[in-house]
Structure 1
Amino acid sequence: ETDLTDEQFTARSSAFTAWEQRTLADLFDHCGLSTRARTVLAAHAPTYGLPPGRCPLPTHAAIIDHYLHGAYYPKGGGQMLPAGLVEVIESHGGEVRTRARVERILVTSGRARGVTLTDGEVVTAPLVVSNADYTRTVQNLVGEEHFEPGTVRRTRGSTMSLPFAVLYVALDTTLPERPNANLWWYRHTDIDTGFRQLAEHRIDPVPFLFVSFSSLKDPAARNIAPEGHSNFQVMTLVPPDHAYWGADAGPADGGRYRRTDLYRRRKQELTDAMLNAAEEALGPFRGHITHLEAATPLTHERYIHSRGGTPYGLAGWGATGERPDTTTGVEGLHVVGTSIRYGSGIEGVATGAMMCASTILGRRLVPEVTRGAVLADRSLLPHRGEDFDPLAVSRGRARRHARGLARIDTARRPA
């Protein structure tokens, strides 16, 4: 029932209240499950980057509920999501600025007043919503002196979920016939064995894989793969330490790594190990590779400035299962993103954003959206022609046609 308040939901859900600060391993112990059964039921663990002994039960339950109700894929590929968001913002009078890094969130007299960019420009605003890494927001962008002592204490003691590495693979052939579904592949029947291996900084052989098949999910999209070709992504969890990857500091803090011998060696070792595991799971395909690109945690940190390069946000922030709310205690400052109480992943982040907007507007948006309400004015949205490029649109109007930038070839997209 989407109209229930948090208090009403808690009152009706005694089981949830009893287990909300317990781990997935606690539930497995309570049920007396075998090692193999634990691995099968926790197989989605790479989707949130935590072993059963550290995963809050609600986190795993939310992921399972998501897949049981059907996971969806945006027609045209994942880039369509930010492109659609930018279109809504710009068509309703907003502005999207990329390559405009924030140096500081301005707070005076306990209230957020705007931001200062790294080039010195000051942008004032009555509200600031930070989608940056939560710890960086508190400690670097705002400053601990503006937060309650409890918030500062939990943030200082916080830990992050494990990061992952990705191989982007394109083949000049189609994959052997398989279901149009994600693949979770495990080398061992004991999921904890794989997590212990990562804690020991051993990545070869790769203990588990998560594979997503873009060209199976949207076979008609020629911007994803030409006809007769395949496009898929191979992911696995990896050690988060900067030193392991050959960097003294992360790229978000100015660390250099891309040309160091250790980083290049680690990246190549990981690529080879992931390809070996992927061929165990899918069968031989290396002879058909036309494009292969690897992204490590340092790659992700360079782009999203997430602590440790994880896309999954906080693993620990106080008690088990506790995460920050969208309000911060600083008037006019709100937070969203992967570390908020509503979870990581697209669904969790989108839900957190709607809850943040609900707080700001004093309006319960989630029930409206669940019932199918469209909050934007569709008549204002731009027409998408045959040359629509979601990557260019996502950069914002000011940089949409900048020279020398990558573009998605839409010429081969079917009419």
Structure 2
Amino acid sequence: MTDDIDVGIIGSGLGGLTAAAFLAAAGKRVMLFERAHIPGGNATSYSRRAARFDVGLHYLGECEDDGIVRWILDSAGAKVTFRRLDSQGFDIVRGPTWELAIPCDWSEYRERLVAQWPAHRADLVEYFRLVGAIGEAVRGSLRGAVTVSPATAAPALIRLLRHRNTTVAELFDRLGFPPDLRAQLSAYNAYYGLPPSRTPLILHAGAATHFRRGAYYPIGGAGAITDALVDVIERNGGQIRLLSEVERILVRRHSVEGLRIREKGTSYDVRVSTVVSNADWKRTVLELLGQDQTTAGQFSRAASAHTAYPMYLLSLLIDRDLHAEGFGARNFLDIGDIDLEAQYLALDRGRMPERPQVLFCSANLKDPSAQDSAPIGCSSIQLMSPVPGDPRFWGAPAGPASGVRYRRRESYLAAKKSVSDQLVAAAESIVPGLRSSIVHTTDGSPFSHERFIGSSGGSPYGLSSTPDQFMLNRPLPVTGIRGLYLVGANVVFGSGVVSAMVSGSAVATLLLRSKVVRRTRVA
């Protein structure tokens, strides 16, 4: 195989796809290598029994006309249509004795909580003032990063840095919030996988304010964003090679000189001086670079870095039309045990909480007009919850990256059944009679995620966003190796769909402005 390429990209998650789309649209020859059989990473959908299920993208913000996601897609030339979820209650947060519909309007959200907690009015006003301001600064820093604009990003970063050592639990303590209110305000903890005591206030604020301009779902499912970016890449001459695994980043004298690729049992070298890695950061350093091609400090840092808690994804097809039953375009977040610290302590100890939190999403409730979302008279449902990352919980001595065979182990199947039963039992409070309505199930464990996505520990969030691994304590997009750049969930912009897309846009813009991209040859 011979061809001229300017940039080699490892992995087709949203960070890699976004970078590839911008570079290809600017006339650069891009070749993207993806180890799986389809592109997209977590931003993909799959079909079972004529129903559509999303892997990791279930809804998002910043899709309005001036939103970050909309700006990125429009700038790249990617056409995606979004449906706005119920602005009066796109998420329903449920506790043991209470329920709260979260609206998009930030002031209305505050007043609904004040109505439930009138004795804490002043403290809630202060919480919403502070968290709202921090959330706007987070948005400002990301908007500045999208275009690599220091003038836009710097003021927002300065405002953020004064809160860099504060956790959300410390804010709750200062305001004197009771346990139930803390649980309500921490409803999005599972979207970054941390209890309040380990959650940076900045991270909490970014998540809490993410939907204040609207919550959206891509028409056609999570894969619609991937398909649109792939179309831009291929329409502009870029190539995406599937079932193509990068075995090694080739470095000489601290500069990238190529990639070693394995396809269909055969390895070959691609000579390219600019590489963007959307692969898991730990694997990029520990395996693709290796100890011989990186410094002792970099290698040690990657080896000791800890990943976020993995998620379990249970997909159900039920023989009931939830749309006809009055369920709207919204999600449910059942807190379970309001003591989130205890829930995560159980996970740390390698077991499930007795009453785990459950996220309830449905593609056909959010995209009811799509014929592929579910058969007539049926509904697709997905239940998610943080789960232990210890392989022993899943009945194996190590994860699939080690080569351990696990899929038919009785202990693995038993662990999946136990977790699935817990999630269905919890979701019965949302959809009474759910268990008896199930006609098909598929499940995704941390082992599934590690096997298909290649993420360390099977986590969809990459590195854990604890204070010691947050913001400037995360890897920067520019590395110490000339020609090697990083995008995705592990870099300084943080985890999540928007942050991953921002990373890809920022790196592409940086490369195009610096004019470091030059054409080389595949050998």
Which residue does the alignment assign to 2:277? 130
> Partners in 2 of 1:25 and 1:10 — Cα distance?
27
Which residue does the alignment assign to 2:214? 70
Q: Which amino acid aligns with 2:171?
A: L
Asked whether the 8 Å contact 2:200–2:466 carries over to 1, the reply is: no
Residue ranges of structure 1 left out of the alignment (5+ in a row): 364-415
What is the DSSP-based 3-state SS (H/G/I as helix, E as strand, rest coil) of the residue aligned with 1:338? coil
Q: Is the alpha carbon distance of 1:313 and 1:173 closer, same or farther for their aligned partners in structure 2, counting shifts above 3 Å?
A: same
What is the DSSP-based 3-state SS (H/G/I as helix, E as strand, rest coil) of the residue aligned with 1:19? coil
Q: Decide which moves more: 307-316 or 14-23.
A: 14-23
Q: Which amino acid aligns with 1:143?
A: G
> Partners in 2 of 1:63 and 1:316 — Cα distance?
12
Which residue does the alignment assign to 2:374? 225
| 88, 98, 115: which one aligns with 2:232 | 88
What is the DSSP-based 3-state SS (H/G/I as helix, E as strand, rest coil) of the residue aligned with 2:393? helix
| 388, 396, 403: which one aligns with 1:254 | 403
Deviation at 1:14, TM superposition (A): 5.3
Deviation at 1:204, TM superposition (A): 5.9
> Partners in 2 of 1:196 and 1:147 — Cα distance?
35
Asked whether the 8 Å contact 1:22–1:320 carries over to 2, the reply is: no
* Within-5 A mapping of 1:61-210: 61-118=205-262, 119-175=266-322, 176-203=325-352, 205-210=354-359
Asked whether the 8 Å contact 1:24–1:57 carries over to 2, the reply is: yes
> Partners in 2 of 1:6 and 1:317 — Cα distance?
26
Asked whether the 8 Å contact 2:198–2:467 carries over to 1, the reply is: no
Q: Does 1:214 align with 2:363?
A: yes
Asked whether the 8 Å contact 1:147–1:328 carries over to 2, the reply is: no
Q: Which amino acid aligns with 2:497?
A: I
Q: Is the alpha carbon distance of 1:10 and 1:149 closer, same or farther for their aligned partners in structure 2, counting shifts above 3 Å?
A: farther
Q: Is the alpha carbon distance of 1:320 and 1:301 closer, same or farther for their aligned partners in structure 2, counting shifts above 3 Å?
A: closer
Q: Does 1:38 align with 2:144?
A: no
Deviation at 1:316, TM superposition (A): 5.6
For this pair of structures, how many residues does the alignment match? 363
| 264, 278, 281: which one aligns with 2:427 | 278
Q: Which amino acid aligns with 2:184?
A: V
What is the DSSP-based 3-state SS (H/G/I as helix, E as strand, rest coil) of the residue aligned with 1:281? coil
Deviation at 1:75, TM superposition (A): 0.4
Q: Is the alpha carbon distance of 1:130 and 1:282 closer, same or farther for their aligned partners in structure 2, counting shifts above 3 Å?
A: same
Q: Decide which moves more: 99-108 or 23-32.
A: 23-32
Which residue does the alignment assign to 1:357? 508
Asked whether the 8 Å contact 1:211–1:233 carries over to 2, the reply is: yes
Deviation at 1:80, TM superposition (A): 1.4
Deviation at 1:190, TM superposition (A): 2.2
Asked whether the 8 Å contact 2:352–2:387 carries over to 1, the reply is: yes
Q: Is the alpha carbon distance of 1:3 and 1:96 closer, same or farther for their aligned partners in structure 2, counting shifts above 3 Å?
A: closer
> Partners in 2 of 1:8 and 1:289 — Cα distance?
50
Asked whether the 8 Å contact 1:10–1:17 carries over to 2, the reply is: no
> Partners in 1 of 2:488 and 2:144 — Cα distance?
24
Give TM-score scaled by structure 2 length: 0.66
Deviation at 1:105, TM superposition (A): 0.9
Asked whether the 8 Å contact 1:166–1:295 carries over to 2, the reply is: yes
Deviation at 1:269, TM superposition (A): 0.9
> Partners in 2 of 1:318 and 1:223 — Cα distance?
42
Larger RCO, structure (CA 8 Å, separation 6 or more): 2
Which string of whole-angstrom CA distances, capped at 9 and with x for unpartnered residues, describes residues 334-362 of structure 1?
11111111121211111111111122112
Q: Decide which moves more: 292-301 or 240-249.
A: 240-249
Which string of whole-angstrom CA distances, capped at 9 and with x for unpartnered residues, describes residues 54-89 of structure 1?
222222222222222222211011121222221111
* Within-5 A mapping of 1:348-387: 348-362=499-513
Which residue does the alignment assign to 1:244? 393
Q: Which amino acid aligns with 2:278?
A: N
Q: Which amino acid aligns with 2:344?
A: F
Q: Is the alpha carbon distance of 1:42 and 1:112 closer, same or farther for their aligned partners in structure 2, counting shifts above 3 Å?
A: same
Which residue does the alignment assign to 1:374? none
Asked whether the 8 Å contact 2:144–2:150 carries over to 1, the reply is: no
> Partners in 2 of 1:50 and 1:219 — Cα distance?
33
Q: Does 1:52 align with 2:196?
A: yes
Q: Which amino acid aligns with 2:167?
A: T
Identity across the alignment (%): 34
Which residue does the alignment assign to 2:53? none
* Within-5 A mapping of 1:308-387: 308-315=457-464, 319-321=468-470, 322-362=473-513
Which residue does the alignment assign to 1:266? 415
> Partners in 2 of 1:206 and 1:200 — Cα distance?
15
